């Protein structure tokens, strides 16, 4: 293991972990703050041939990058949430007769990802708030608010002569 100088950060820890594993890929279930997402599709172990079929099928879809997964029953996909969502991709695969890994853990992870992508997409479609105007609104409300920092003495009487 290589000694690294400086403070340990999350990014450094991940890099060290990936170096130890012998790969430099993005972790699959970590947050991806931008609109470009990288996810891992995991399939039922009872049907080993379906991974190859799914890879060929998904590779033909525009805006969807498909790579081998971290195991023989998985694929890594990368897409923009403005074009695709994990829920839509997985629903389409299930309708085509493919079987995903339905362990409780993976069902929970998928539900969280579905919710996060839907929420992020909805938030991206909202108009941007004008921060300066909202600050002015709160400043004016504070000026009118009766609090202990207000001096009712007229300005001409406050001045020292």
Domain count, the chain: 1
In a domain, 89, yes or no: yes
CA angle 65, 68, 71 (to 5 degrees): 140
In a domain, 94, yes or no: yes
Task: Report the greatest alpha carbon distance in the chain.
Answer: 93
User: By three-state DSSP, how is residue 117 classified?
Assistant: helix
Q: Which of 6-10, 40-44, 126-130 has the lowest mean pLDDT?
A: 126-130
Beta-bridge partners for 67: 76
- pLDDT tens-digit profile of 28-41? 455 667 889 999 99
In a domain, 86, yes or no: yes
- How does the average pLDDT of the chain come out, rounded? 82
CA angle 98, 103, 106 (to 5 degrees): 85
In a domain, 5, yes or no: no
Q: Which two tokens stand for residue 124?
A: 């991206």
Beta strands in the chain (DSSP E): 36-42, 64-68, 74-80
pLDDT at 46 exceeding the cut of 70: yes
3-state helix, strand, coil in the chain (%, to 5): 45, 15, 45
| Cα dihedral across residues 88, 91, 95, 96: positive or negative | positive
In a domain, 131, yes or no: no
CATH number of the domain that residue 80 is part of: 3.30.70.100
What residues make up the domain containing 95? Answer: 30-124
Of the candidates 124, 117, 102, the residue with the CA atom closest to the CA atom of residue 39: 117
Q: What is the pLDDT of residue 24?
A: 42
In a domain, 61, yes or no: yes
In a domain, 136, yes or no: no
User: Do 100 and 41 touch, CB atoms closer than 8 A?
Assistant: yes
Exposure string over 4-26, b if 16+ CB within 10 A, otherwise e:
eeeeeeeeeeeeeeeeeeeeeee
Q: What is the pLDDT of residue 43?
A: 94
**Residue found by looking up tokens 């340990």 in the block:** 8
In a domain, 1, yes or no: no
């Amino acid at each position: 293991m290589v000694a690294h100088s400086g403070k340990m950060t999350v990014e450094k820890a991940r890099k060290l972990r990936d170096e130890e594993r012998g790969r430099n890929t993005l972790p699959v279930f970590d947050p991806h703050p931008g609109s470009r997402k990288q996810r891992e599709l995991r399939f039922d172990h009872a049907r080993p041939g379906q991974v190859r079929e799914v890879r060929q099928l998904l590779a033909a879809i525009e805006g969807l990058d498909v790579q081998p997964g971290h195991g023989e029953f998985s694929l890594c996909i990368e897409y923009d949430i403005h074009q695709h969502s994990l829920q839509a991709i997985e629903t389409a695969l299930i309708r085509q007769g493919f079987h995903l890994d339905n362990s409780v853990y993976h069902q929970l992870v998928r539900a969280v990802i579905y919710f996060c992508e839907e929420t992020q997409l909805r938030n991206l479609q909202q108009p941007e708030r004008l921060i300066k105007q909202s600050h002015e609104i709160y400043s004016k409300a504070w000026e009118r608010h009766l609090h202990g920092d207000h001096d009712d003495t007229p300005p001409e009487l406050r001045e020292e002569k």
